[in-house]
Structure 1
Amino acid sequence: MLDIRSVQNGVVFKVRVQPRASKDQVAGLWEDAVKIRLTAPPVEGEANRALCDFLAKHLGVTRAQVDLVTGQTGRNKLVRVSGITAESVLQRLGLYKN
């Protein structure tokens, strides 16, 4: 189950990034985080920028609404997205189960 929390004006959730993948995609759940595969390499913040762009596009928010809270140098990250609900995140990332 994804560890996602509602905060003032948005949500915070865990992400596990796999850089240098063959394509950008949501790869399901990894423990209590959403696993995201990115083609970007993990150098000079490229994977972090690609992650924020990927999430903004898939969640239907602007890039400015996506912020890395922790994990700038690791694969495990905590992401804050403002202006969206937890249910919307689950639906838009394809993780919502009826």
Structure 2
Amino acid sequence: MTAWRLRPDGLDLAVKVQPRARRPAFGGLAADGATLKVAVAEAPEDGRANRAVCEAVARALGLPKSAVEVLHGATSRQKTLRITGNPAELSARLEGLTA
């Protein structure tokens, strides 16, 4: 089981967000292997944490910020991000991040 699902135009990534973290970081896969843990320093107010998560994921994958958006869970710590791009390349980059 992986934290992402391939789509023809990219992939959907399940993340668990830790807002107000001391330092931003990727925590690897959660114990169930179905979500990627992401810590951001921003507070979950006015969408700041959502923007920070999207920017962090885009930066880690070498993509523009506009390639990552919150698909589900805008007010929850459990989110699904829609990432546009080549699905095979994105999957390989995520494998590298979670290894």
| 1:55 matched residue in structure 2 | 57
| 2:37 matched residue in structure 1 | 35
Count of matched residue pairs: 94
**Aligned-residue RMSD, C-alpha:** 1.2
Alpha-carbon displacement from aligned partner over 1:44-91 (angstroms, at most 9, x marks no partner): 101001001111111100111101110100000001111143122221
| 1:87 matched residue in structure 2 | 92
The percent identity for this pair of structures is 31
Counterpart residue type for residue 48 of structure 1: N
Q: Distance in 2 between matches of 1:51 and 1:44?
A: 13
SS in 2 for 1:80: strand
**Which structure is higher in helix share?**
2
Q: Is 1:67 aligned to 2:47, yes or no?
A: no
TM-score (normalised: structure 1): 0.88
Q: Runs (4+) of structure 1 moved beyond 3 Å?
A: none
> What residue ranges of structure 1 are gaps of 5+ in the alignment?
none
